[in-house]
Amino acid sequence: MSGTFVGMPAFPKAAREAVHNTTLRGNLRHATHTIRAKREAAVAEVPDWAELREAGKQIKDHTLRHLDRYLVQLEESVTAAGGTVHWAADADEANRIVTYLVKATGESEVVKVKSMATQEIGLNEALEAEGIHAYETDLAELIVQLGKDRPSHILVPAIHRNRGEIRDIFAREMSEWGRPAPEGLTDTPAELADAARLHLREKFLRAKVGVSGANFMVADTGTLVVVESEGNGRMCLTLPETLISVVGIEKIVPTWQDLEVFLQTLPRSSTAERMNPYTSTWTGTTDEDGPSTFHLVLIDNGRTDTLADEVGRQALRCIRCSACLNVCPVYERAGGHAYGSVYPGPIGAILSPQLRGTGSEVDASLPYASSLCGACYEVCPVAIDIPEVLVHLRERIAQGGPATEQGAKVVLKPAKGHAAERAAMRAARWAFSHPGALRTGQRVASRTRRFHPRTLPGPGKAWSASRDLPALPAEPFRDWWQRTNGGRGDERMSGGSTSGGKDTGK
């Protein structure tokens, strides 16, 4: 399995393989159901959850509305605190900046805090191409990296792996990267954690450069915040001499007071903890304490384009908690890799086609990777109406329309492959606009019902491969209604009278 998502097939095809992989289905089902139940309990004990959710939404919307101002304020605060701010319009620019900064230190390895932004831009691969080794230090990211695998979940990237698989990866791969796994390693969680701890400790103590993302950036003071469970983040943020943080521009909050909301909603939504074990905050540099050099690389990479879209911009409220993944019935069965992006699940289905555009096969298929059941919206701690954005993006794909690409307003053409569907939708709209035509169709269907197959050929197979078709009735309801004068003439109906049989249609 390759380490990137480039050239991924459309969602349905990738999902088909996952659905039939019983080990994967079992791993995902167990993990998502466990965390789903825990989250529900952790949220239920907060009496003002609805208010916190609304506050989180409003803080994010306000910040996004004034993002230009807050970004400038953040740059000033970070600079005043001794940091250096870099601006990157896209992934390539961000990778170039980070590579340059690492090379300037003379080092050829970096330790990394778990970060979605650096995965989004493919930083590890870019550094590797320049001879710089990036070591992931989050336990699950380590498993993914050692296994030459791809992450399949935002919070638990190795959710698709079970203990036995992890043991095998450690035993086989650790020696390639540094300290080997202990002899006779078993698959007990304590032994696996100990093996990872020993392997990583060597890296922490040696590294001169740390690379991180951030969960939040406080514009007012220039403070960055990382929320984590393992303590590896704290090591990477404090031990190296140089710290480089790569952060999406939407991660700003105006003040420390705003953090109060998210530091309550994020841990409960993601790990179902009342409070996460480690919350690290740093403001520029401090003499004799922590890194002496701090760089902040702010990345756009499609965010400004997303912000320009009235319906789609709510996706930028996301705080990457992954509650929507854990509750999603489609994610549970398709797994994270099918989404072809570091952002899987419902949030990925609305984020990837906006950040990357709908040009690729997988991106154009993502808005359809949902039954629109709404469970994601229900659990989202910043109230992103994911079904609304999915339908909005379906419209963009099926019908085309206005969008923003690299800062320019464009009018997109309908995506290829939707011509037959478009024609069918138009025909259905015509029939539904003419009740007479609909009725004729219903009657023909009912009267020929003896000849209808229970399974369908061609595209209809998509239905009938797993489901029987319903039997057609002898007559549609409207014929019965007219024939029996609204049921009064039907011996099966009794009691009371109905107004029956009036044709009030137009």
Among positions 389-408, residues that touch other proteins (CB under 8 A) are 391, 393-399
Of 43, 214, 39, 19, the residue nearest 112 (C-alpha):
214
Please select the residue that binds other proteins; options are 5, 11, 70, 294, rule is CB under 8 A: 11
| Residue 26 lies near other proteins (rule: CB under 8 A) | no
Please select the residue that binds other proteins; options are 93, 191, 220, 475, rule is CB under 8 A: 475
d(CA 149, CA 140): 11
How near is the Cβ of 191 to other proteins at its closest, in Å? 34
CA angle 158, 164, 169 (to 5 degrees): 65
| Residues in 334-363 that interact with other proteins by CB under 8 A | 334
Which CB atom, from 182 or from 487, has the smaller least distance to other proteins? Answer: 487
Which CB atom, from 1 or from 504, has the smaller least distance to other proteins? Answer: 504
Q: Classify 357 as helix, strand or coil.
A: coil
Please select the residue that binds other proteins; options are 330, 355, 362, 382, rule is CB under 8 A: 330
| Residues in 358-387 that interact with other proteins by CB under 8 A | 367-375, 377-378
Which CB atom, from 85 or from 438, has the smaller least distance to other proteins? Answer: 438
Which CB atom, from 95 or from 370, has the smaller least distance to other proteins? Answer: 370
**Is there a contact between 144 and 150 (Cβ–Cβ < 8 Å)?**
yes
**Is there a contact between 231 and 277 (Cβ–Cβ < 8 Å)?**
yes
Q: Classify 246 as helix, strand or coil.
A: strand
Which CB atom, from 80 or from 423, has the smaller least distance to other proteins? Answer: 423
How near is the Cβ of 442 to other proteins at its closest, in Å? 5
Of 209, 8, 228, the residue nearest 111 (C-alpha):
209
| Residue 490 lies near other proteins (rule: CB under 8 A) | yes
Please select the residue that binds other proteins; options are 184, 289, 310, 408, rule is CB under 8 A: 310
Count of positions on this chain that bind other proteins (CB under 8 A) = 80
Q: Which stretch binds other proteins (CB under 8 A): 57-65, 104-112, 343-351, 458-466?
A: 458-466
Parallel, antiparallel, or unpaired for β 252-253 and 216-218?
Answer: parallel
Residue 370: phi and psi, rounded to 5, are -160, 140
**Is there a contact between 111 and 236 (Cβ–Cβ < 8 Å)?**
yes
Which CB atom, from 242 or from 442, has the smaller least distance to other proteins? Answer: 442
How near is the Cβ of 244 to other proteins at its closest, in Å? 39
CA 275 to chain centre: 22
Radius of gyration of the chain (CA): 27
Residue with tokens 């979940």: 153
Please select the residue that binds other proteins; options are 186, 469, 483, 489, rule is CB under 8 A: 469
| Residues in 241-270 that interact with other proteins by CB under 8 A | none
Please select the residue that binds other proteins; options are 452, 463, 483, 489, rule is CB under 8 A: 463
How near is the Cβ of 494 to other proteins at its closest, in Å? 7
Q: Classify 449 as helix, strand or coil.
A: helix
Residue 421: phi and psi, rounded to 5, are -65, -40
Which CB atom, from 106 or from 495, has the smaller least distance to other proteins? Answer: 495
How many alpha carbons fall within 13 Å on the CB side of residue 284?
Answer: 17
Tell me how crowded residue 292 is: count the other CB atoms within 10 A of its CB: 14
Which CB atom, from 21 or from 79, has the smaller least distance to other proteins? Answer: 21
For other proteins, what does the binding mask look like between residues 417 and 456, x meaning CB under 8 A? ----xx--xx-xx-xxx-x--x---x--x-----------
How many alpha carbons fall within 13 Å on the CB side of residue 460?
Answer: 9
Which CB atom, from 164 or from 329, has the smaller least distance to other proteins? Answer: 329
Question: Would you state the torsion angle of the CA atoms of residues 234, 235, 239, 244, taken in this order, to the nearest 10 degrees?
Answer: -70
DSSP symbol at 454: S
| Residue 44 lies near other proteins (rule: CB under 8 A) | no
How near is the Cβ of 119 to other proteins at its closest, in Å? 25
Please select the residue that binds other proteins; options are 103, 191, 388, 412, rule is CB under 8 A: 388
How near is the Cβ of 158 to other proteins at its closest, in Å? 22
Parallel, antiparallel, or unpaired for β 223-228 and 278-283?
Answer: antiparallel
| Residue 506 lies near other proteins (rule: CB under 8 A) | yes
Of 331, 327, 360, the residue nearest 348 (C-alpha):
331
Which CB atom, from 172 or from 461, has the smaller least distance to other proteins? Answer: 461
How near is the Cβ of 498 to other proteins at its closest, in Å? 5
| Residues in 85-124 that interact with other proteins by CB under 8 A | none
User: Which residues partner with 84 through β-bridges?
Assistant: 295
| Residue 504 lies near other proteins (rule: CB under 8 A) | yes
Which CB atom, from 192 or from 376, has the smaller least distance to other proteins? Answer: 376
Q: Which stretch binds other proteins (CB under 8 A): 216-224, 248-256, 349-357, 492-500?
A: 492-500
Parallel, antiparallel, or unpaired for β 84-88 and 293-299?
Answer: parallel
DSSP symbol at 337: G
DSSP codes of every residue in 469-499: PPPPPSS-HHHHHHHTTTTTT-TT--SS---
How near is the Cβ of 149 to other proteins at its closest, in Å? 22
Q: Which two tokens stand for residue 277?
A: 């074990």
The CA distances from residue 456 to 21, 69, 463, 474, in Å, are 26, 58, 8, 21
How near is the Cβ of 241 to other proteins at its closest, in Å? 48
| Residue 486 lies near other proteins (rule: CB under 8 A) | yes
Which CB atom, from 285 or from 446, has the smaller least distance to other proteins? Answer: 446
Residue 334: phi and psi, rounded to 5, are -90, -25
Which CB atom, from 104 or from 428, has the smaller least distance to other proteins? Answer: 428
CA 222 to chain centre: 27
